[in-house]
Every structure is written in C-alpha cells, then in structure tokens.
Structure 1
Amino acid sequence: MKKHNFFAGPAILAEEVKQEAAKAALEYQGIGLSLMEISHRSPEFTAIIDEARDLVKELLEVPEGYQVLFLQGGASLQFYMTALNLLDSSKTAAYVDTGSWSSKAIKEAKRCGNVEVVASSKDKNYNYIPKDIAVPANAQYVHITTNNTIFGTQFQSIPDFDQPIVADMSSDIFSRPIDVSKYDIIYAGAQKNLGPAGCTLVIVKEGALGKVSRELPSMLDYSIQIKSGSLFNTGPVFPIYVCLLTLRWLKQQGGIAGTQVRNELKAMALYEEIDRNPLFVGTAAKEDRSRMNICFLLNDPSMSDAFLADCAAAGIVGIKGHRSVGGFRASTYNAMDKSSVDVLIQVMQDFEKKNM
C-alpha cells in the first residue's frame, strides 16, 4: 500500500530524488565509491556543492552581495548564530513571537544582546499572526518565523519593516517567491522542503557582517564559513547532495512559481473540506492559515482514535497533531502530490458518512 507521508519533519522527498540518492549511496557516478565515502575536498563534491549553491541563487533570485551556505546544527543553532553575528551586547534586536521556534530563537538571542518582543500571538495559543507590528527605530534587525509548523500559521506577506529582517524559513523555504533583498539572513533546516536532516541552508548578506565587537568562534562566524565555501570543517556530504537533487527537481517542476501554484491547490482543497465537514474545525485564524502545515480538530475529541485508525487503513501516516495543539496536522510540503491530499479528504468524507 502506498504511504501518504504527512509528517512535519523529517518530511517527504520526491520519489525521483530518493531513487537517485539511493544509487549514489551505493556508488557515485561510476567512481567505485559510495558518495558517503568521498572526501568533502574532492572534485566530485566540489561540483555538487557549487551546483547546489548556484541553484539556490537561481531559484530564489538571490541578488549580488549575498552568500549561500550549507551548514550543520539545524535551525536551532541558527537561533544563536544569527544573533551572535549581528547583535552586539549593547544593542537591541526585535523579535516577533509566533510559536515554539520563535520563542526558542528569543531565548538564544538574549545571550548576545538586548531583545525586545515587539509582537506575540501567545495569548491565543499562537493561532494567528500579529498585525501592525511596531519595531523600535534602534533595532539592529527584526526576527520572524515565516511559517509555524506546530500551530499552522504563516505570514501570508512579509511586512515592510524599516529594519533588516532575519527569518527562519525552515518550513516554507522554496514554497513561494521571496524578495531576498529584504533580509540580512535567511535560514532553514533542510528537512522540510529541501532535503534530509543534517544540513541547514543559510543565505546571508555580506554587508551585515563584521559589525559586532565580540570575538566569534570560528565555526560560528559567517565570514569564516563564507571564505571556506561552507567547508571550514567536514560538511554533511550526503545531505547536501540530496539537497542538490531536490533543487534540480524543483527547477524541473517549474521553479518556485510552479511550486507555489501546487501548494496553494493542495492547501485550498484541504481547508475547503475542513470548513465544509461538520465533524472538523480548523485551529488557525483563516487569514493566517499555513499552506505547509494544516492543523485541525474533531469537534468531538472522543472520535480521534477512530479517525486515526481510518487514516492508517488508507496508508496515511504522520497526521497526528502536535501536543501543543492536539487534533491533526497535515504537512503538505513541496514534494507531496495532491493525490495524497485527495486521499485524506476522502477519508474525512467517509468518516463523516459513518458518524453523522
């Protein structure tokens, strides 16, 4: 039976990507070695990371003056690393608190300087995106989490702040067009829309660096990582290769514009069913609903186990919601085909017929 993978992460990969990655795991391009055995300084891997970097720039239309890095440590390390590189101890950064990940970013940034939380949706369990956000003029930057995997909310458009933006795009990178010039740093753990866990994409504006007075650890200094081409130490060779395969696949699928259309169709279909079906209710404010992580509840929670059993019988996995919200969460990342969403919708409709 085909599995329909709605896990929030590590998440679904395109079938073509998995097949090609499996071949490389055994032997890479006839060289007699697995890709997992080759040197990160080898010409084979140099070609891989160079192409991956170039495709990121092409797909996201990255302007001059920005560098693309493939690092380790996930978004969780970037919570600290961004502030370490941009925020002096005597300066202030503004943070928008829209969920668990932004709260963790705030905690780490406080180790580096002053942090002002300029807006928060915590009062309603993060089920909306704050509006009319006022940022102090002296803020070095404003940090946002563009999509919130746990609570199913998303910035539908990015505010025009006067300050540079630092953005965690771990769960919606490559899902829609972005204006990179608005940002000092964009970072994203790969394991949602780009590749497997173990690799982190960072896009950094060179002009934003070198302005803090503290001495930076070499591994956490963006300038050093730029000079070394992301390879100050041994990089995550295999995850970067899978990211390259995904970037090639995204380009073949029509690039970011094509991806956006498919994501909107998937999300629209599922939200329409949630709103139509009397057994279910969405958790996020309608104007802020995520196109990546669709969260919903049963009006009668006692029916949850029965619904999960029906999902399992249809091959649906990863649909159970995070404990902070409960209910169900359908993560419809770039690699998910709409046919999997259609299967979930059919299960919801059949469940309605059995229980109404």
Structure 2
Amino acid sequence: MTIATPAGKPARPFFSCGPASKRPGWSFEALSGYAAGRSHRSAGNRAKLKRAIDLTREVLEVPETHRIAIIPGGDTGAVEAAMWSLLGPRPVEAIAWEAFSEHWAIDLMEQLRLPQASARVADYGETIDLSTVDFDKDVIFAWNGTTSGVCVPSADVIPLDRKGLTICDATSAAFALKLDWDRLDVVAYSWQKVLGGEAAHGMLILGPRAAERLETHIPTWPVPKIYRLAEKGRILEAVFEGETINTPSMLCVEDYLDALGWAKSIGGLPALYARVEANARAMSDWVERTPWVEFLAADPAIRSTTAICLRIVDPAVTRGGREAEARVASEMVNFLDAEGAAFDVNAYRDAPPGLRIWCGATVDAADLELLTQWLDYAFARARTEVFAQAA
C-alpha cells in the first residue's frame, strides 16, 4: 500500500476531545481584559462572572425559567453537585454508554448507595434505548459520549409529565447539538469542549423542577461545600448570580467570555451547529470511501457529530486481533504527532483500539479534510512498519 505524502498540513492540527481546539483566530491578546491580581469578589470580576452566566443564557438559548451557575471541577463537579444535592426522594437509574457516564453510575451505586438505585451500561459504540427507561425515576445520562462516539438521537421519548428528574451530562453536546430544555431538568457541561475553553470550570443549568427539588428535599448525607446548592431547603441564589462556590480562575473566565463572544459574532447556535455538521460531514464522507476504517458506532442514528471515534477494519490488521489494531493505531498517533499533522487523536484509554477526532465548532472543516489525507498516509505507513516488525 503506497500513498503519496500529503501536500499540505492542517493549519490548526488540534483535534483533542478535551481540552478542545481554541476558536479560529484565538491568541493571548484576546485575554487582555483579564484583571490580574484582583479578587473574584471585586466588583469588576463579579460583573464578569455574572456576564459569563448571562452570555451563556443568550448564546445557548437557555430559558429565563432556568438557573445557571459556574461550578468548580468542570463537568464532573457540575454533575456531582446535582447528584449529591438532588437525589434521594425517588428511585434513580444511571444509564451509560461511555466512560464518563459510567463514572456517574459507579458513584451512584458505590458512593451514594441509594436503596432504590440501579444502573445500566452499554458496550462502546452502542447506547441504551431511552424508550426503555422509566422516567418516573430520576435518570442520569450523558447526551453525547466522547469516549465512544455515540449520542442521544432525540429527547422526544422523555415525557413532559415525568415524575422524576432528568440529569444530563451534556459536556460535548452543549453548543453543538440541540438540547430540549423542556425535557432536561439538569444540564451540565464544561468550558473545555465545544467552545474550546480552559478546564476546571463547569456549568450547571437547573430547570424549575430541579429547583423545586432543591427547595423541598434535604439530603440525608452531608453535602461537600463545593457541591452545595442549597441550605436548609433554601436555594443559594447568589451561586446562580456569579458568586462562585470556590475561587475561579479569572483568566479562564476571560477566555470563556472570549469564546462566547466569538460564538455570538458568527451567528450564535445556528452557526455553531452548521460548523459541527460540516465537520462531521467531512469525516463521514471520508469514512464512506475509505476501506480500512469504520465508525465505532455502527448505527448512524446514534453516532456523535462532535466526537468521531474510529476503528481499524483492514483485514490484514484485524486478523492480528486487538494487539495488532492497538499497535497500528499507536504508530499512527505517534507519527501524526511527530509530523505536526494532528495532535491527540488517540482513542480513549479504556475504549477499543482506534482513533478519536474532535469535530466541535472550533475546528475547521478544511483542516479535517487535510487530516483525512494524513490519516490515509499514516495508516499505510503504520501498517507497513508493524508487519515489517512482526516479520
């Protein structure tokens, strides 16, 4: 298998699933408004934290009925805050189809240990049909799985008259896929995904039903301070006005404001959706015409458009089993990194061997089209190298 070296390289070869690529045109000068050495409680910085919440509402089109808070610990902290503060009054089920939502299932079953708790975990590349879920229970799930490349096809099966709360980890879906606010009571995400912000900060969005739970339910266990959203049945409203539970990085806040400003400047959600769809199309067109690779998620209906997870299906490689697949994938990843053609495209460590490529809104479709040429070249080279070593 001989393929010519591609003539050009991606202008921005940043395809990590998190922290994801910065927005087009980003530079450190974008953060020049950062007030170094000032308290996050100062008037100016409190205004910036409130601005981050208000601009989130505007760009993400969050209804006025929903509260928004900045939470320490990224998406993980936001989901944990919801679990520790809201769960208890009703039976609860965690459904998982990738590594991080499986963590919520483990925490539910092994840490909170609620008596009426259950969990279901799907294999990589598959999901659990939401129509089989009892939404009179509280339900915890991820909308879009970056480690497996699958997503929820639609929220339509979630009843509007459900009795339980829906707690949705939407970290790789927010700003990229449509979220149904009438059917999602809790939404969590981090800054480091679709808008390419910096890590360690999460967003927690609570609908009216979740707020009612905070006011009517006091957990029987101690809630750690960084997860505390209410005290004695009273919502800590200041948390939803920019008074953060823990000290945030104002440099990261400045970066998040910049990312939101960029999103607004290009046309808001419709423009972000369009960029994601163009990126996903560039990858799917290539997979369709490329015999050595397939999507990890075989069913197009549940396939993620932001986290593209791929597996090697070349017969000469697959005959060697997972060890051969892993060696070829590793050789490809290392070569692409050394060439500066693509960074961080390795599959998640617990996922099947393969590649994982971020196609969120900050990535350019033109770079993905160039990347596919390098993927073909890297595969041909890796296949030859690995089998030469075996001989």
Q: TM-score scaled to structure 1, two decimals? A: 0.86
Find the partner of 2:307 among 289, 293, 296. Answer: 293
Letter in 1 for 2:344: G
**Number of the residue aligned with 2:321:** none
| From 222, 226, 233, the counterpart of 2:237 | 226
- State the one-letter code of the partner of 2:13: H
Aligned equivalent of 1:73: 73
Residue 173 (structure 1) shift: 1.1
2:103 counterpart residue number: 104
Q: Distance in 1 between matches of 2:299 and 2:172?
A: 19
Partner of 1:6: 15
Letter in 2 for 1:4: P
Q: What is the aligned partner in structure 2 of residue 19 from structure 1? A: 28
Alignment of 1:115-154 (within 5 A): 116-117=117-118, 119-121=120-122, 125-136=123-134, 138-139=136-137, 141-154=138-151
Partner of 1:56: 56
Instruction: Give the deviation of 1:134 after TM superposition.
Output: 2.7
Structure 1, unmatched stretches of 5+, are: 29-34
1:181 counterpart residue number: 182
- 1:210 corresponds in structure 2 to 215
Change (3 A) 1:338 1:147: same
Q: Give the Å deviation of 1:151.
A: 0.9
| Alpha-carbon shift at residue 115 of structure 1 (Å) | 5.3
The answer on whether the counterparts of 1:99 and 1:148 sit within 8 Å (CA) in structure 2 is yes
Question: What do residues 36-94 of structure 1 show as CA deviations (whole Å, max 9, x unaligned)?
Answer: 31111222212212221111111222223311111111222334321222112x63112
CA contact (8 A) 1:128 1:153 kept: yes
Equivalent residues, number: 342
Give the residue type in structure 2 aligned to 1:330. Answer: I
The CA distance in 2 between the partners of 1:167 and 1:56, in whole Å, is 17
State the SS of the aligned residue for 1:52: helix
Paired residues of 1:319 and 1:328 also in contact (CA < 8 A): yes
Residue identity matched to 1:157: S
SS in 2 for 1:281: strand
Conserved? CA contact 1:142–1:165, under 8 Å? yes
Aligned CA distance change for structure 1 residues 314 and 66 (closer, same or farther; 3 Å): same
Provide the alpha-carbon RMSD of the alignment. 2.5
How far apart in 2 are the matches of 1:333 and 1:108?
Answer: 28
**What's the CA shift for 1:350?**
4.3
| Letter matched to residue 346 of structure 1 | Q
Q: Judging changes above 3 Å, is the alpha-carbon distance between structure 1 residues 199 and 17 closer, same or farther for their aligned structure 2 residues?
A: farther
d(CA) in 1 for partners of 2:29, 2:116? 45
Residues 340 and 114 (structure 1), Cα distance of their counterparts in 2 relative to 1, 3 Å cut: farther
- Residues 79 and 188 of structure 2 are in contact (CA less than 8 Å); yes or no, is this contact kept in structure 1? no
DSSP-derived class of the 1:5 partner: coil
Structure scoring higher RCO (CA < 8 A, sep ≥ 6) equals 2
Q: 1:321 corresponds to which letter in structure 2?
A: A
Distance in 1 of aligned mates of 2:117 and 2:226: 27
Match of 2:361 among 298, 315, 334: 334
Look up the SS of the partner of 1:340 in the other structure: helix
Structure 1 position 196, deviation (Å) = 0.2
Moved more, 66-75 or 295-304: 295-304
Which range moves more in the overlay, 306-315 or 238-247? 306-315
- Per the alignment, residue 275 of structure 2 pairs with 262
Residues 300-315 of structure 1 aligned to structure 2 (within 5 Å): 300=317, 301=325, 303-304=328-329, 307-308=332-333, 311-312=336-337, 313=339, 315=341
- Aligned counterpart for 1:319 among listed residues 345, 367, 372: 345
Instruction: Name the stretch that deviates more: 90-99 or 302-311.
Output: 302-311
Structure 2 runs not aligned, ≥5 long: 1-8, 318-324, 385-391
Residue 225 to residue 239, structure 1, CA distance change in 2 (3 Å)? farther
Letter matched to residue 127 of structure 2: I
